[in-house]
Amino acid sequence: MTSFSPLTRSTDEQCISLIGIAGAGKSTLGKALAERMGFAHLDTDRLIEATWGQPIQAIMDERGPGGFLAIEETVVAALSVKRAIISTGGSIVYSPRAVERLKALGPVIYLRIGRDAFLGRVKDASGRAFVRPAGLSLAQVHAEREPLYLAACDFFVRTDSADLDACVGECIARLGAMPAPSD
């Protein structure tokens, strides 16, 4: 069977996962990339909401950050999908088990934004279900997660210095330059 996509690393059986901090554009870019590639789009926050029957914020309020992270890990670690662009929640990198599952599904792209762009986009993060370890400022959370995102990804794309179409194009080009999977 020939691959649906022209990419050498990604096959028609694999997924492409998008990770990054809140405001990086995971959902927006995920939808656009899925449309361009003819893949489905799966937003793990929406899947968690559908699974638990509550908005993410209500889950966070009810169960706290630790409870939410456990739910997020369980849902993502159990993903069994193909030909999908997976937009994850920004806190997914706190779970090695979930990151391992994303990597098993296919390439992982870190949508990277600088601290100032992050702070400008999320403001004070009110109204967002944002996992913030106790005592950390938003800038400190950005700094804490940066090495986790870099360790989890196959490559990163800056989404704070190019428009949506350029970022989608860069994702596709970078995916196409990756070595074929060795199965």
Where in the chain are the domains?
16-176
Tell me the pLDDT tens digit for each residue of 152-182. Answer: 999 999 999 999 999 999 999 999 888 877 6
**Lowest mean pLDDT, pick from 7-21, 94-108, 155-169:** 7-21
CATH architecture assigned to 16-176: 3-Layer(aba) Sandwich (3.40)
Please spell the DSSP secondary structure of the chain, one letter per residue: ---SSS-SS--TT--EEEE--TTS-HHHHHHHHHHHHT-EEEEHHHHHHHHHTS-HHHHHHHHHHHHHHHHHHHHHHT---SSEEEEPPGGGGG-HHHHHHHHHHS-EEEEE--HHHHHHHHTT-TTS-----TT--HHHHHHHHHHHHHHH-SEEEESSSS-HHHHHHHHHHHHHTSPPP--
pTM for this prediction: 0.91
